Amino acid sequence: MTPEWVKDAVFYQIFPDRFRMGAGPPASPAPVYSSFEAWDAPPTLRGFKGGNLWGVIEKLDYIKEQGFNALYFCPIFSSTANHRYHTSDYFQVDPMLGGNTALRKLVEEAHQRDMRVILDGVFNHCGRAHFAFQHVMENEAASPYRDWFHIYKFPLNAYAKHANYAAWWNNPELPKFNTANPECRAYLLSVAEYWFQYGIDGWRLDVPNEIDDDEFWREFRRRVKAQNPEAYIVGEIWDDATRWLKGDQFDAVMNYPLGRAILGFVGAEVLDKDLAAKSGLGRLESLGAMACHNRLEELFRRYDWDIVSAQMNIMTSHDTPRIYSLLRGQLERVQLAFAMLFTLPGAPTVYYGDEIGMAGGHDPDNRRGMIWDEARWHRSLMQTIQQMAALRLSLPVLRRGRYQYLYAQDSHLAFARTHGQSSVVVTVNASPEPWRISVPLHGLWPRGEQAVDLLSGKAGRCAGGYLEDGILEPFSLAVWQALEQS
Q: Does the pLDDT of residue 177 top 50, yes or no?
A: yes
Alpha-carbon distances of 175 from 47, 155, 298, 358, rounded to whole Å: 22, 14, 37, 34
* Average pLDDT score over residue span 99-121: 98
Q: Does the pLDDT of residue 484 top 80, yes or no?
A: no
Mean model confidence pLDDT for the chain: 96
For residues 208 and 217, give the distance between their C-alpha atoms in angstroms, rounded to a whole number.
Answer: 9
For the stretch 191-242, pLDDT in tens is 999 999 999 999 999 999 999 999 999 999 999 999 999 999 999 999 999 9
Q: Where in the chain is the domain with CATH 2.60.40.1180?
A: 399-483
**Residues annotated as catalytic (active site), given as ranges:** 206, 236
Beta bridge partner(s), residue 460: 451
- H or E stretch at 187: helix 182-194
For the stretch 443-479, pLDDT in tens is 898 767 899 999 999 999 888 889 987 789 999 999 9
Q: Does the pLDDT of residue 47 top 50, yes or no?
A: yes
* Assigned fold of 4-124+177-394: TIM Barrel (3.20.20)
Q: Which amino acid is at 434?
A: P
Length of the chain: 486
Q: Does the pLDDT of residue 486 top 50, yes or no?
A: no
Q: Where in the chain is the domain with CATH 3.20.20.80?
A: 4-124+177-394
Contacts of 308 (CB under 8 A, 6+ apart): 299, 300, 345, 346
Judge: domain 399-483, CATH 2.60.40.1180. yes
pTM recorded for the entire structure: 0.97
For residues 6 and 310, give the distance between their C-alpha atoms in angstroms, rounded to a whole number.
Answer: 6
Q: What is the DSSP string of 217-279?
A: HHHHHHHHHHH-TT-EEEE---S--GGG-SSSS-SEEEEHHHHHHHHHHHHGGG--HHHHHTS
For the stretch 367-407, pLDDT in tens is 999 999 999 999 999 999 999 999 999 999 999 999 999 99
- pLDDT at position 113 is 98
Q: Which of 28-37, 295-304, 421-430 has the lowest mean pLDDT?
A: 28-37
